[in-house]
């Protein structure tokens, strides 16, 4: 029987496998079902395991509210990916060095891997999933496609969000300014040249 189980597991995608594992320490707020009612009271939650500190957390992501109960030590990037299924946010280094986890918080680009979810409550969080509106891609997303601004694509959500936070404030930037704004995002495939071109092209359309 063990083999059958093993085969089944192999057939599952990595994502559904992780989901099936109950994604770590989250208690059961309705996330597996997609969502998400604001929690009424904020009563203290008894720990599942002695010594662990669970907290009720309310997040506002791409204009939607999510309520969940998690351990205080969990990072925003981790919670986005494993609790909320918003897997567009990538985790590369997990130590504030690569930018793959970039999200926008109250209009500023930040590293989701180094923010604690409990600490971004009440703030407007934007992730890559929130960029397309009514089935239409954001001009930056279109430009990344048009200019072929990636190879593997792993750094792309972070690059686009760093670019968006920048272009939301800056009209008609120079190449040097674009480079500076995206300097916290590493591209291991070295697609920098195309990335900068895409951001400059998107700036003209915004």
Ligand X SMILES: Cc1cc2nc3c(=O)[nH]c(=O)nc-3n(C[C@H](O)[C@H](O)[C@H](O)COP(=O)(O)OP(=O)(O)OC[C@H]3O[C@@H](n4cnc5c(N)ncnc54)[C@H](O)[C@@H]3O)c2cc1C
- Cβ neighbours of residue 185 closer than 8 Å, sequence gap 6 or more: 98, 99, 100, 102, 155, 158, 159, 162
73 binds other proteins (CB under 8 A): yes
Residue 46 token pair: 């008894």
Complex with ligand FES: residue 98 or 182, whichever CB lies closer: 98
Q: How far is the CB of 114 from ligand X (least distance, A)?
A: 7
Of 188, 193, 204, 205, the one binding ligand FES by CB under 6 A: 188
Q: How far is the CB of 47 from other proteins (least distance, A)?
A: 9
204: left (phi over 0), alpha (psi -120 to 50) or beta: alpha
202: left (phi over 0), alpha (psi -120 to 50) or beta: alpha
Of 72, 96, 132, 145, the one binding ligand X by CB under 6 A: 96
Complex with other proteins: residue 35 or 39, whichever CB lies closer: 39
DSSP H or E run through 78: helix 76-82
Please report the beta strands in 40-123, taking only residues with DSSP state E, as ranges in sequence order. 54-61, 64-71, 102-105, 108-111
| Strand ranges across the sheet with 108-111 | 64-71, 54-61, 124-126, 102-105, 108-111
Where does this chain touch ligand FES (CB under 6 A) — which range of 17-25, 36-44, 58-66, 146-154? 146-154
Complex with ligand X: residue 91 or 201, whichever CB lies closer: 91
111 binds other proteins (CB under 8 A): yes
Interface residue list for other proteins (CB under 8 A): 51-53, 55, 71-73, 75, 94-96, 99, 102, 108-111, 113-116, 118-119, 162, 166, 179-181, 183-184
Interface residue list for ligand FES (CB under 6 A): 91-94, 96-101, 111, 113, 150-156, 187-189, 191
């Amino acid at each position: 029987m063990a083999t059958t189980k093993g085969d089944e597991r192999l057939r599952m995608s990595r994502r559904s496998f992780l989901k099936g594992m109950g994604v770590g320490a989250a208690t059961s707020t309705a996330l597996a079902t997609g969502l998400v009612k604001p929690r009424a009271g904020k009563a203290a939650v008894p720990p599942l395991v002695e010594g662990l500190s669970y907290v009720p957390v309310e997040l506002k992501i791409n204009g939607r509210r999510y309520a969940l109960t998690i351990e205080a030590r969990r990072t925003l990037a981790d919670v986005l990916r494993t609790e909320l299924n918003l897997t567009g946010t990538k985790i590369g280094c997990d130590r504030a060095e690569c930018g793959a986890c970039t999200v926008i918080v109250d209009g500023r680009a930040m590293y989701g891997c180094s923010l604690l979810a409990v600490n971004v409550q009440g703030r407007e969080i934007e992730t890559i999933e929130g960029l397309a509106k009514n089935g239409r891609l954001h001009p930056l997303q279109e430009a990344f496609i048009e200019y072929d601004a990636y190879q593997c694509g792993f750094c792309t959500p972070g690059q686009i969000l760093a670019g968006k936070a920048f272009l939301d404030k800056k009209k008609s930037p120079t190449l040097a300014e674009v480079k500076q704004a995206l300097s916290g995002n590493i591209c291991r495939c070295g697609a920098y040249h195309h990335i900068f071109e895409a951001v400059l092209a998107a700036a003209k359309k915004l």
